[in-house]
Structure formats: structure tokens, C-alpha cells
Amino acid sequence: METPIGDWLEPLPARQEKEIQLEPSNKVVVSCALTGVLTDPVRFNVPVTPEQMAEGARQARDAGAAIVHCHFRRQEPGLGHLPSWDPDIAARIVLAIRERVPDIIVNLSTGVIGPDITGPLACLERCRPEMAACNAGSLNYLKIKDDGAWAWPPMLFDNPIEKVSKYLQAMRAHGVVPEFECFDTGIVRSVGLFQQARMFDGDPHISLVMGVPSGMPARPDLLPILTDEMPPRAHWQVIAIGREEVWSLHRRCVELGGNVRTGLEDTFYLPDGTRAASNGALVEALVRIVREVGREVASPEEARASL
């Protein structure tokens, strides 16, 4: 079993924001999703331990990322493919990242199936990240194999309004900026309704999750439609799930003024179709696209001021 850190570990302090001017038309905030929910580290080079997560964050930061998105895994030998909502494990990982990369913005995952969100809420309270994901609507999470069989048992990724509201109340209480993950057009539109209902403060931060087989496809031509449905003054980025096809989507997103995310949670493949050896390699490839379009990447300080 994982040895608890103990009660001596206080909630991580909130960071002091710097007054930095950011030119939104030119600077792109690049995020890196270091690891996924169930990816087996025996088969894929995903980070699991605090040391591995910190090193992945360092590589991402050195390559140009301003934000790291974090899932947490079981730390017992042989169980690193399973998720963990142990706040002690979460705190160890976040502390390791902040010690290795002090200026990086930490964004925590909160997604769970079912109504019990005590684990994610405990991690938010312990770690006090600057940002956290808030899945903004429900989705039948499906994938089919070539033989017509389900790739996994069909499941509902349930995010009813009661669940979303509880997350947003906790984020407001802990000073965490919500990042609304949207898997379909109606979910994008729902964020505007959340804003009208005063469920969160400030401008909305929207992530278009594209490429999940039962959600929005990874099609660049959809981006103008989706951005048209966003509330005014929304910050937005693309989370592109897939292989080679995701890179043209990233390019179009940058052309349209959006921010972008990559990492071993989202893809294992570089633009040429080869397997990425690390999170850093994926961020390097994405930064090259940003610069080819004629924009520049934002530093963590610039991203913090913008977001």
C-alpha cells in the first residue's frame, strides 16, 4: 500500500500573480497533459511516480508548455495503470512538479464516473491548483473495433448539472480557475448557460475535446462553428485525441487564435506518424506548428496573466 504522507502536509499555497501584459493575438498558451487515466506504463512511456511526473513537467516546460494537466495513478508496484484519488499521492506529485518547475501552472483532472466526487474534491482542497478541469456535460463514451465489437463496455461519462455545480462551488472556494472540457456542441453552449446562472466567476475557459469516437470529430472545419457558439470573451483551446490527424487540427486552432494542448494523454504520435518518446517531444512538435503559423508561445507568467 502507498504510505501516506501524514497530516503534516499542508495545502499547497496559491501562487502570487504577476502583472504582465499579454498580446492575445500573438501569444499561444501551450498545455501538456502528462499522463492519462488508464494508460499502462508497461506498454507506453507515461509518467506515474512523483519523480517521473516532475521530469515530464520539466521537459514540457523546457519545450514551451506553460501548463501541465495532471492525472494521478496508484503508486504500488504493478498498479501504475490505475487511477488514484488519494490526496496524499496527489500532493506528493504536485509538490514534486512545483519543486522541479516552480513557474509552471498546474491543472488537475477531476473527471470521475458516478456521483461520488469526494476523491477529486479532496485533491483540490489539498493541492490548491491554479486550474482544474470541469467536465461540462455528459457523453456516451464509446469506441468500436474493426470486428464490430465494443473496444470497452459502453459507459456514460455522467456530468449532470448537480455534479458540475458541486465542482464549481469547490473551485470557487479554493480559488481554482475552472477549465470547461466540452465533448460536443451542446456542451459548449452549456458553458454560456453556466455563466448566465453565475455558477462561476470571470471569463470562461473552454477546451474543445475533439477526436473521441462518440464526441466531436477531430475536424479543423468545425472550429469556426464551435467558436461561434462560445460565450463572449471566452478563452479556448483544442484537446485533440488521435494520431496524425490531430496536427492539422492544432494548426487550424492556432490560426484562429486559440490555445493548444498535447501530451501523452492525448496522443502517442508525432506529425510524421512516429511514436513520441516523451511529453517533451510532443510539445516541441506543437511549438513548431505555433511558430510556423506566425505566433509565439506564452511563458507561464504570460499565461497566468492571460488566464
**pLDDT string in tens for the chain (307-residue length):** 343 333 334 555 444 443 333 334 589 999 999 998 878 888 888 999 999 999 999 999 999 999 999 999 999 999 999 999 999 999 999 999 999 999 999 999 999 999 999 999 999 999 999 999 999 999 999 999 999 999 999 999 999 999 999 999 999 999 999 999 999 999 999 999 999 999 999 999 999 999 999 999 999 999 999 999 999 999 999 999 999 899 999 999 999 999 999 999 999 999 999 999 999 999 999 999 999 999 999 999 999 998 8
Tell me the three cell numbers of residue 124.
483540490
Q: What is the pLDDT of residue 37?
A: 84
Q: What is the pLDDT of residue 111?
A: 95
Q: What is the pLDDT of residue 307?
A: 80
The CATH class, in words, for 27-306 is alpha beta
Calculate what percentage of the chain has a pLDDT beyond 90. 87
* Beta strands 155-157 and 139-141, pairing class: antiparallel
Q: Where are the domains of the chain?
A: 27-306
Q: Are 109 and 115 in contact (CB under 8 A)?
A: no
Q: Which residue has the cell 512545483?
A: 98
Torsion angle defined by CA atoms of residues 120, 73, 187 and 238, in that order, rounded to the nearest 10 degrees: 130
The CA distances from residue 84 to 56, 71, 95, 121, 294, in Å, are 19, 8, 16, 13, 40
Closest among 280, 264, 207 to 73, alpha carbons compared: 264
Q: Which residue has the cell 456542441?
A: 185
Q: Is 131 helix (H, G, I), strand (E, B) or coil?
A: strand
Q: In residues, how long is the chain?
A: 307
